[in-house]
Structure 1
Amino acid sequence: MGNADLRDLAAIEEISFEEVAGSTVAVDAHNWLYRYLTTTVKWTSESAYTTADGTEVANLIGVVQGLPKFFEHDLTPIFVFDGAVTELKDDEVEQRRQQREQYEDDLEAARERGDSVAVARLESRTQRLTDTIVDTTRELLELLDVPVVDAPAEGEAQCAHMARNDTVDYAGTEDYDALLFGAPLTLRQLTSKGNPERMDLQATLDRHGLSWEQLVDVAILCGTDFNEGVSGIGPKTAVSLLNEHGDLFAVLDARDEEIDHADRIRQLFLDPAVVDVDPETSVDPDVDAAREFVVEQWGVDPGEVERGFERIEDAIVQTGLDNWT
């Protein structure tokens, strides 16, 4: 189900950071990191984050620039990294790979013709989370004493699980699928300027007269990462059909339609692979070690990260960061 479709259904409100100060947030690390990565690549000179051997570590700039937003607003982030990709998502992964390869071809052509605008746009679209990017991100988070959790499968599902069992106060992601994975409350706009948005699962269900299971059925009818939807069914029609027929399978029977692996897809949202965790949430960043790691070890332009490190140091003093619990 597309993000635009889910946003049309979701109960979302803009809130102030003061309303969530002191909260813990399970952050979908890949979602958060990808947004900073593409922004860094688009607006920063490649030389600022490329090592002598050509390895790109724009992620290190993104992490240093992005983390202060949590620290300055007294939020404790717990970064959740994706695990294995479900086989039902193989087609989507392959489609994204093919699209990225096309973007890479377009990027080379744009460079050859000297089209700087197209180059900037396409460089951000060809970014992917390489092993180096994931590994260096994790090491930097460790130096900054930010908790990390490894999900067995979808990071977003793990974030939702942690919010459902009160390990954290919020899931943190820009992806509306957090609703489908059952996150009671989700914070959005954590990578943007301005105030965050709070997405409320129960308010969403109440608005449309649905159960959580029925909301998942609505998504499956419209199409998810794991399946194509039924032709001609959008979110409003899907809600009406669920209100009329009760569940996905009754709707499919009434319309004489089929969705491959429908029951398995349903369970991927309602009963995903997750683990119970109890991460340490007191944070005591070693900013000097983190600065040395980014600038000295990986050769990132100090001018691109110094202000971020200064903001982290200031937050430690102003919010008592090392006393968070």
Structure 2
Amino acid sequence: MGNADIRQLAVIEPKPFEELTGSVVAIDAHNWLYRYLTTTVKFTRSEVYTTDDGEEVANLVGVVQGLPKFFEHDITPVFVFDGGVTELKDDEIAERREQREEYEDQLEAAREEGVEAAEIATLESRTQRLTDTIQETTRELLALLDVPYIEAPAEGEAQAAHMARTGDVDYAGSEDYDSLLLGAPKTLRQLTSKGDPECMYFDRTLEEHDLTWEQLVDAAILMGTDFNEGISGVGPKTAVKLVREHGDLWSVLEARDEVIPNAERIRHMFLDPDVTDDYDYDTDIDPDLDAAKAYVTDEWGIPADEVERGFERIEESVVQTGLDRWS
């Protein structure tokens, strides 16, 4: 998820949708999907997205509700799915699993005690995870809607940042701040929120603090990342000051007589992540709406009225942006 304190360093400005018309955005798929998944679960009755076999596919509702925002503003999303996750992230994953299990215990207790439905819905949203079924059905629905997606060799966010750096897309799209450390020139945030998004700028951030990319990563490591604990008492301002004063991470650690395990590997993961140039996608979107609707409602049993407006918005926006090419 990245350290939210990085926001204090980043140069971020509002980005009106009208300035994004015609853009292609590489979306961190897991980040985007998880946010719509939890929102759907929180505000939708569980029987809506639970099959007769007990399989939960709230993602199908979330995808249909989330995609129109792109189409309505003539933005082409390219969803980038995670491949393997580095073992250095094991601690974070274990912490998330432990937190989710705690929420599951709270949810079970709440149900037994008969607490209000709103509280139960909130707890249900906190226990969500991207199951194999959710992963597979999301890809299948995107394919029916002709929305491009690719598979990253490792972290989807790193691949999205790489695509933005090579110029294959105009922006990376993620709610996390690690996109900045991964060198994405421009990252769109708040794509899952109401209103206009905001844009986080890489070069302007470096200029603002008179840092190199390496030094920005060094400052983040001192603050703490998904892969390491930071140095106690070192926040954004102190981290930048220390890196400026001493030059790099190693000199800071030596001066303070501190050690950060795996520091070299962590640094390398931001500066030279596992990404690929072996991908291909078509930004001319030609959705098969009838097949997509049938997949969601007939094959997976989502009530038609739960997704009707989302599909209508997709159809209307495709027509409005001149992409009306389905028969």
Give the TM-score taking structure 2 as reference length: 0.97
Indicate the residue corresponding to 1:321 in structure 2.
Answer: 323
Secondary structure of residue in 2 paired with 1:26: strand
Q: Distance in 1 between matches of 2:196 and 2:29?
A: 20
Residues 200, 281 of structure 1: CA spacing in aligned structure 2 closer, same or farther, 3 A cutoff?
same
Q: Distance in 2 between matches of 1:148 and 1:127?
A: 22
Indicate the residue corresponding to 2:7 in structure 1.
Answer: 7
Deviations 1:196-220 (A, max 9, x none): 1011011111111111111111110
Compare 74-83 and 84-93 and name the one that shifted more: 84-93
Q: Distance in 2 between matches of 1:16 and 1:311?
A: 20
Q: Is the 8 A contact 1:17 1:73 kept in 2?
A: yes
Compare 158-167 and 280-289 and name the one that shifted more: 280-289
Q: Is the 8 A contact 2:142 2:148 kept in 1?
A: yes
Deviation at 1:89, TM superposition (A): 0.8
Deviations 1:63-116 (A, max 9, x none): 000000000000000000001010111111111111111110111001111122
Deviation at 1:278, TM superposition (A): 3.3
Q: Distance in 1 between matches of 2:259 and 2:295?
A: 53
**Which of 282, 285, 289 is 1:283 aligned to?**
285
Q: Distance in 1 between matches of 2:79 and 2:16?
A: 22
User: Aligned letter for 1:106?
Assistant: Q
Compare 274-283 and 140-149 and name the one that shifted more: 274-283
Q: Distance in 2 between matches of 1:260 and 1:10?
A: 26
Q: Distance in 2 between matches of 1:172 and 1:208?
A: 23
Indicate the residue corresponding to 1:202 in structure 2.
Answer: 203
Q: Distance in 2 between matches of 1:77 and 1:321?
A: 14
Where in structure 1 are there 5+ consecutive unaligned residues?
Answer: none
User: Aligned letter for 2:295?
Assistant: F
Residues 253, 135 of structure 1: CA spacing in aligned structure 2 closer, same or farther, 3 A cutoff?
same
Q: CA RMSD in A?
A: 1.1
Deviations 1:130-154 (A, max 9, x none): 0000100000000000111100110
Map residues 18-33 of structure 1 onto 2, 5 A cutoff. Answer: 18-33=18-33
Q: Distance in 2 between matches of 1:296 and 1:181?
A: 41
Deviation at 1:322, TM superposition (A): 5.2
For the pair 1:61 / 2:61, whether they are aligned, the reply is yes
Query: Identity of paired residues, percent?
Result: 70
Q: Distance in 1 between matches of 2:9 and 2:123?
A: 31
Compare 258-267 and 90-99 and name the one that shifted more: 90-99
Give the TM-score taking structure 1 as reference length: 0.97
Deviation at 1:118, TM superposition (A): 2.7
Q: Distance in 2 between matches of 1:92 and 1:3?
A: 12
Indicate the residue corresponding to 1:301 in structure 2.
Answer: 303
Q: Is the 8 A contact 1:147 1:281 kept in 2?
A: yes
Q: Distance in 1 between matches of 2:63 and 2:128?
A: 15
Q: Distance in 2 between matches of 1:223 and 1:128?
A: 24
Indicate the residue corresponding to 2:94 in structure 1.
Answer: 94
Q: Distance in 1 between matches of 2:266 and 2:229?
A: 11
Indicate the residue corresponding to 2:85 in structure 1.
Answer: 85
Indicate the residue corresponding to 1:41 in structure 2.
Answer: 41
Q: Is the 8 A contact 2:2 2:176 kept in 1?
A: no
Q: Is the 8 A contact 1:282 1:322 kept in 2?
A: no
Map residues 1-325 of structure 1 onto 2, 5 A cutoff. Answer: 3-116=3-116, 117-276=118-277, 277-321=279-323
User: Aligned letter for 2:287?
Assistant: P
Where in structure 2 are there 5+ consecutive unaligned residues?
Answer: none
User: Aligned letter for 2:300?
Assistant: W
Q: Distance in 2 between matches of 1:147 and 1:322?
A: 17
Secondary structure of residue in 2 paired with 1:228: coil
